[in-house]
Structure 1
Amino acid sequence: MVKKLPPALASCDVPAIWLSHKKELYNYIFKRVKDRELAEDILQEVLLKVYNFCLSKSGVRNLRSWLFQIAQNTIMDHYRKSSKFQDRDIPDVAAEEENMAFKEAVNFIEPMLGFLPEEYAVPLKMADIDGLKQAEIACKLGLSLPATKSRIQRARQLLKAEFITCCNFETDAQGNLVSFDIKATCAPLISYRKKNF
């Protein structure tokens, strides 16, 4: 299956990519390194990586997540190369801020519960979003504990299937989400994103 590139990447329009994201990327970098000059230097490195990417024409599904992943990696590279910094000085970017693609995907879990039959959506929301214990859910819904566990498990499978149907996502070798985007064919989530983000 051929990956469809965002228009700016498909045409390798580096100036358009840069104009759209430069300020946000700078703020992201500055927040972590807390030095304006260093933030500018790292931002320039990110620009070079974007340019090199365009030359190689590799595939990317989610431009924004990809750009911030490059920025994060470039910050880490800078700290690793710099001999004046100890390991303890390297900002723990992963602890400070969860993977951006994962955070973006989480925003769509609740709306996607609406795609499931109510008998599955309700216990799953109570368990995974509201944080109720399964025995408490069983009591509230008038179900046996085994029936509740079964519905929650089935709901998770259905929700995963909906994510696969409605979203493009990529994971790294460790299974971490590195890229997330809604498919153009998933009108309900596209509409939700337009209204809420």
Structure 2
Amino acid sequence: MIWTSRNLLIFEQKTLTSQETAIKAINAQKEWKRAQTLRPIATPTPPVRAQLPFMNDSTIFCNTDAVWRSDQRAAGLAWIFSDREAHELHRGSTAQAHVSSPRMAEALAIREALIQASILNFTNICLCTDSQELARAISSRRRSTDLFGILSDIDSLAFSASSPFSTISFVYISRSCNGPADQHAKSSLSSF
């Protein structure tokens, strides 16, 4: 409202008092709150498995996500395993300190999910991430300088001769399809 009052003065030569500006701000805030309560609550939709025809019936899907706080240099990491019908099989999360960037947090979440998949004896994995850049880097086996160590760990877990996985793929999904993993990561970070 301060900005709007300024624009009224500059472009229309109309002056509002500070009290009028404050009242307009309060009314606008109340109007916004009312509009929020009328909105239907969106429920996150699971990824469409039909879009991935190359997967077999035993494929386990793993959605990963991470949230990062620059002021704490900490991250919440989360992963959710589900079957082809999107029935949840297992979920986990952890918080981690000394994380340098959001990309590093996403890569750490992927590495942790692969470790957990190995522990759970899931051998056919489709890892879904909302980080298109990481999905490409891992699939093409490129290692950027800032993530070299983490990407090397992921590469070793996923593609080495001693890999615990029979089949593995890394797929980009939109953020809107990754809501549950995102919420789980946020919860993990908030309890850190």
What TM-score results when the alignment is normalised by the length of structure 2? 0.27
Larger Rg over CA atoms: 2
**Greater fraction helix:** 1
Give the structure, 1 or 2, with the largest relative contact order (CA under 8 Å, sep 6 or more): 2
What TM-score results when the alignment is normalised by the length of structure 1? 0.26
